Every structure is written in C-alpha cells, then in structure tokens.
Amino acid sequence: MTTFPDTLGRFGRYGGKFVPETLMAALDELEREYNSAKKAPAFREELERLLKTYVGRPTPIYHAENLTRQLGGAEIYIKREDLAHTGAHKINNALGQALLARRLKKTRIIAETGAGQHGVATATVCAKLGLQCIVYMGEVDIARQASNVYRMKLLGAEVRSVTSGSRTLKDAINETIRDWVANVETSHYIIGSVVGPHPYPVMVRDFQSVIGQEARAQFQGLTGGLPDAAVACVGGGSNAMGLFSGFINDPSVRLIGVEAAGDGVNTPKHAATLTKGRPGVLHGSYSYLLQDENGQVQEAHSISAGLDYPGVGPEHSYLKDAERAQYVAITDEEALQGFDLLARSEGILPALEPAHAIAHLRALARELGRGKKILLLLSGRGDKDLNTVASARGVRL
Amino acid sequence: MSTGPIQQAFEDARRRRRTAIAPFLTIGYPTVDASLDAVKAVATAGADLVELGIPFSDPLAEGPTIQMSSHHALGQGVTPAICIASAARLRADGLKIPLVFMGYYNPLMSYGLGRFCDAAAESGVNGLIVADLPTEEAGPLRSAAEKRGLDLIPLLALTSPEPRIAAACRDGRGFVYCVSLLGVTGARAMFSARVRGLVEVVRRHTSLPVAVGFGISTAAHVKETGEFADGVVVGSALIDAMRDGPVESAPERAEAYIRGLALGAARPTGHRGQGS
C-alpha cells in the first residue's frame, strides 16, 4: 500500500501524466524538487514550524459525547481541521506547495478553487510568503461563495471568474491549466486536491498526511487504541487521503469516504464519482470519472461547492478497487441534516463538505454499534456556507 | 519504415517548393455538413492534409476559439462515431489528401483504443494527434495505431528538453508537431521566434517532416515558418474566419482564408526545409 505511486505516478492502474507536452518539463522539475525538499532538513523544519506557529497545528481531536448519545451507537471522535488557520485543511497543502514554489524560484502562484477554501488558503500563504496569487473560480461558485471571494481579495489575490462549461471547479481547473501552459516558466500551480498529473496526487497527499499522523497519535493518546472506522468526505479527496494515510497500514481501521449524491445517485444531478463513474482521463490523471457513453465529462452537482467535481484523486480509485476503502454517497438533503445535527448537538457549524460525512454517521454509528469508535474528519467550518444553507431553507440573510 | 501518406504529402509539398499547409477544423462546427464541406473547400484551396478535430468537453490545450467550436460541436451531438463516419463520407466523396484526427484522450479510451483505431483506419483516416497524451503515456494508443497503419503524431513544445525530444522523435510517425508558443491555441499577431530553435533540435533526432502550429494566422507567418519547418498547422484563425458570417457560406470563407494563407507557402530555392 505504501509503495505507491510507482515512478510513472501510478497507483495500480490509476494516475499518470496526461497533460499537454508543454507542461511535462515543469512536472518533472516539480517532482525532482519535491523529492529533494522532503528530504531537506531546512525545508521540513520551516514547514513544521509554520504548521505549528502559523496554521495552529496540531488541531485537536475530541470525544463528541452529545452526538454519540444522540446517535445511540458507536463512540464518535472528531478531528478538528475546522480550527486550522483559514478554517479548513486546505492550508496544510497550500503552505507546503508555496514553500516548494519558493525553492523553485517561482514567484507567481496560480490556483483553482471550488468552495473557495483552497483559494483562501492559497491567498493566505501567498500573502505570508510574498508571492503573487491568481485564483480561478467558476462563476457559479463565485456566486455561492461570495464571502470567500472577498476574503481572497482582502488577502491580495486576484480572483478570475471562469465562465466556460459548468462554471464550477472542473472548469476552474481547466482554466488554471491553460494559464499554467502559458506561464509555466514563471508560475507554480498549487493544485488544491489529490488530483491532477503526477506528482500532484502524491505530493498533496503527503502535505495532508499531517492530519492522519496527528490523528493516529492523538486517538491512541485519548483512547489507548485505534478507531474502528475513519470517515471523511471526498470531492477530489485531499482531506480523506490525509486522514486515510495515517491508518492505511492498520487493517482493523475501516476507511470510509463520503461522496456527494446531490439529488440522488440515480438522478442526473450528483457528484458521486466513485459510486457511479467509470475510469477515464481528466485533468492529467486516469481515475474514476463521471462521463457519458462517448467519453465526454459530465457536469457534477452538489450543494457543496467543494464536492462538486466529476473526477476524484487516483489513489481513491486504487483504494476502492483494492477494497481498502469504502465509498458511500450522501444527498444534498441528508448533508443539510448532517449540518444541523452537528450544529445542534455539538455547537459546531460544519462546512457543507464534511456535513456529508456527518450525515453518514447516523447509519454507521448504528451499524458498528456501542463500544466501537468512529473518527470523523471535520475538514472545515461552515461560515462560508451560511448563504447556501439559508437559501436551501428559503431564508434570506 | 515505409513512407506513409502523411509523410508523402509533406514530401510532395517539398518537391513543389511549398510549405505544407495543414488546416484544423472541428467536426460539427458550424454544422457537421458545413464542416465537411469546409474540409473539401480547404483541400481545393491547397491544403496538403487536414486535421479533423474530435470535440471534447474539457479541451484544456485550447484557447477561446477552439473551446467555442468544440463546445458548439458537442451541442450539435457530435460523437467520436460521427467523426469516424464523417471521415468515411469525405473519402466516399473522393477526398484524397491525408486526414488526421486531433482530439483528447478520454473519448478515444471510452470508445476503446483498438476499436477506435480499427474504425478510424477503416474510414480512411491516416493519423492521430492527441493533445493530452505525452509520449510516456502513449504506449497503448501507439501500438493500437501501428497495427492499423495509423501514424501517431507526436507534439513537442518549447519547454521539451532534448531527451524528451529524442524519445518523441523515436516513437513518432507521420510528422513531428512543434508547438510554437507557451500557451493555448489561438491566433496571435506575432508568434514566437523560439520555435526555430526547437525545430533545429528536432531535426537532429529525426528525418520526419516537422510542422509548426499554435498562433499561426497569416501568410507572413507561413512564409517565416517555411524558412525552417516543412509545414504549418492552422486552426483557430481558420475557425475565426468561418465564424465571421452566415453558416451557409462558412465553407467558402474557409476556402478563401486558406487561399490567402497559401500565398505564404511558396518557397525560394535553397530553403532549409526537410531533405535539403
């Protein structure tokens, strides 16, 4: 499990580098620099120092007693990435890649964002490290994540609206890749998830693996053992890979990824790539993909902008086929119930992305039963989603 | 390796002291019928081979023009199967010049690489260009294409280091496509002088013809490129010309545009192209 990816960037049959030739040299350079940086004490020390003093790591784990009682089954523990600086796990990766960009002597940073959390995290680290920052964001997402757009601007980033295709995350990635092709010699592309061409899926996973490493040690400290299940939401899948990487060699720990079922997996409007897709190539890697019978990529749908993506990281595809991880799907409506559940029981407004994972706890806590333990990754806080939640309920703010 | 129809087309152009012209059209832009009429029209205007674009939902190497034509063609219901049937129609109508499919990898994978190559070869297509398939990922398609005598044409970029150039030249068939600029497709007023250096390096590794594309839009560009390359690929500027007016006369505008472009194709004696 830990030997992947291979030298071609493959996790089993998934992954690879399916990009225009212009980018290939930059990917090779990035891979070399990343491999040298991760062994370089100075790089590691700076990253660890900033994760501690700037991001606020380690983020805590706590026993969610009210939620446990309410669901009446397995004990629920929550890893609080919502408490990281900028309010989500995205900054772990953005910081690592920005430090890497500095080693590459690239001063112009480009990024895509869906929910805006990766855009905010990237804008934040660029402000901190003195790098120029341009964020591509779909027009639809700009409308539903207005406060994050403004946050990025306040942090000095330029937000470029993407009006092609579905005008969401997929198209924002297309446009960022197009920018990168034109500016590859001066720019580094900070991809926000475990997607894209090699080395991004492994690099982003590694930068997010701090979640799983901390969580494993914290959980053992708190309970004296390991969880029976570790649960996280999956759009591209970076928070889930970060968590899973800490437990991948613990066969007793079930790894569960929760996708967005939108209106339902048997409707045309969902984002349940692993549940309903079939393998194909999008954005540089071979992985499960929502596509029609002619190989055209289909538009995803989710109430949560961060899960609204028709692809998924290649390592998730591998873990699914290898049956090391299990993937389930939760509808928009169920996610809203998950949102309420955590808000009322624990006093935490979750982002709509992890609200999908929370919603799955109802079934999972019962299935595992009393005496078992579930570790939930709360990947981000819900402030950004207040408008979406309100409008789903017909409330005007 | 024997010389196939694509290489032969470059050789014929060279003998006539001309820079080969390879127009790119999206099948289904503005309609399937009009795009096929446009293929015939550009052949009449002097095109040496034609690239038939298979539309894809996420064409990440394309600028606004070909994004638009691709999106439009998908809206017309164009599928890889329709593209294959279109090539067969062109052959049935007597079109002789080589045809190359250009597109993205996922629709081909979805069709089945072997099945796709069988059907493409059967329809009279001679080669394939896949924008998101660098040489290290091209093995499965390359072997499927070779079995059916289809040339898998490699793309090289200004950023390609020499070992990658060597590998692409070794595996390439038909011609080598050099991308003239850092960026997506689209007409440019000026185009990069750096591509001349790339073509020189490519020549050290292959005797295949070399064509330059991306950003070429005028007869002057063709003349300038003809000083060091064997051919030019022109797509966005052609589609811009087709867009500029009523659908019915799009093929006529395509023909007129390529005629104008071909004014730059004549070469003085003693040019530095292939084989000279």
Between β-strands A254-262 and A229-233, what pairing exists: parallel, antiparallel or unpaired?
A: parallel
Residue B23 falls within a domain, yes or no?
yes
Tokens 């560009």 — which residue? B221
Output helix, strand, coil percentages for chain B, rounded to the nearest 5.
50, 15, 40
Report ipTM for this prediction: 0.94
For residues B225 and B180, what is the distance between their CA atoms, to the nearest angstrom? 10
* Residue pLDDT, tens place only, A104-127: 999 999 999 988 999 999 999 999
Per-residue pLDDT of chain A (397 residues; tens, 9 = 90+): 456 899 889 999 999 999 999 999 999 999 999 999 999 999 999 999 999 999 999 999 999 999 999 999 999 999 999 999 999 999 999 999 999 999 999 999 999 998 899 999 999 999 999 999 999 999 999 988 888 999 999 999 999 999 988 888 999 999 999 999 999 999 999 999 999 999 999 999 999 999 999 999 999 999 999 999 999 999 999 999 999 999 999 999 999 999 999 999 999 999 999 999 999 999 999 999 999 999 999 999 999 989 999 999 999 999 999 999 999 999 999 999 999 999 999 999 999 999 999 999 999 999 999 999 999 999 999 999 999 999 999 998 8
Instruction: Say yes or no for a CB contact (<8 Å) between A295 and B133.
Output: no
Better-predicted residue by pLDDT, A127 or B275? A127
Residue B160 falls within a domain, yes or no?
yes
Closest chain B CA to residue A167: B58
CATH of the domain at B81: 3.20.20.70
Confidence band of B2 (pLDDT split at 50, 70, 90): low
Residue B128 falls within a domain, yes or no?
yes
Residue B64 falls within a domain, yes or no?
yes
Overall domain count for chain B:
1
Q: Which of B58, B67, B159 is facing A22, going by the closest CB pair?
A: B159
pLDDT(B54) > 60: yes
In the annotation, is A90 catalytic? yes
pLDDT(B108) > 80: yes
Query: In the prediction, which pLDDT does B3 show?
Result: 85
- Region B225-243 average pLDDT: 96
Q: Residue A393 corresponds to which amino acid?
A: R
Q: Which of A24, A165, A280 is facing B134, going by the closest CB pair?
A: A24
Q: Is the dihedral of CA B268, B271, B273, B275 positive or negative?
A: positive
Tell me the chain B residues in contact with residue A172 when contact means C-beta distances shorter than 8 Å.
none
- Region B41-49 average pLDDT: 98
For residues A149 and A134, what is the distance between their CA atoms, to the nearest angstrom? 12
Q: Which of A8, A170, A184 is facing B159, going by the closest CB pair?
A: A184
Residue B223 falls within a domain, yes or no?
yes
For residues A255 and A247, what is the distance between their CA atoms, to the nearest angstrom? 8
For residues B180 and B192, what is the distance between their CA atoms, to the nearest angstrom? 6
Is the minimum CB–CB distance between B139 and chain A shorter than 8 Å?
A: no
Helix B219-226 with B250-262: angle, nearest 10 deg = 40
Tell me the chain A residues in contact with residue B159 when contact means C-beta distances shorter than 8 Å.
21-26, 184-185
Output the DSSP codes for A91-117: HHHHHHHHHHHHHTT--EEEEEESSSH
**b/e for A349-382, b at 16 or more Cβ within 10 A?**
bbbbbbbbbbbbbbebbeebeeebbbbbbbbbbb
Contact at 8 Å (CB) between A123 and A151? yes
Residue B81 falls within a domain, yes or no?
yes
How close B209 gets to chain A, by Cα (Å)? Answer: 19
Residue B273 falls within a domain, yes or no?
no
Among residues A31, A75, A81, A112, the one annotated as catalytic is A112
Tell me the chain A residues in contact with residue B79 when contact means C-beta distances shorter than 8 Å.
294
Residue B54 falls within a domain, yes or no?
yes
- Region B49-67 average pLDDT: 96
Interface of A to B at Cβ within 8 Å reads 8, 16-26, 164-165, 170-171, 174, 177-178, 181-185, 280-284, 289, 291, 293-297
Q: Which residues constitute the domain of residue B131?
A: 5-264
Query: In the prediction, which pLDDT does B275 show?
Result: 44
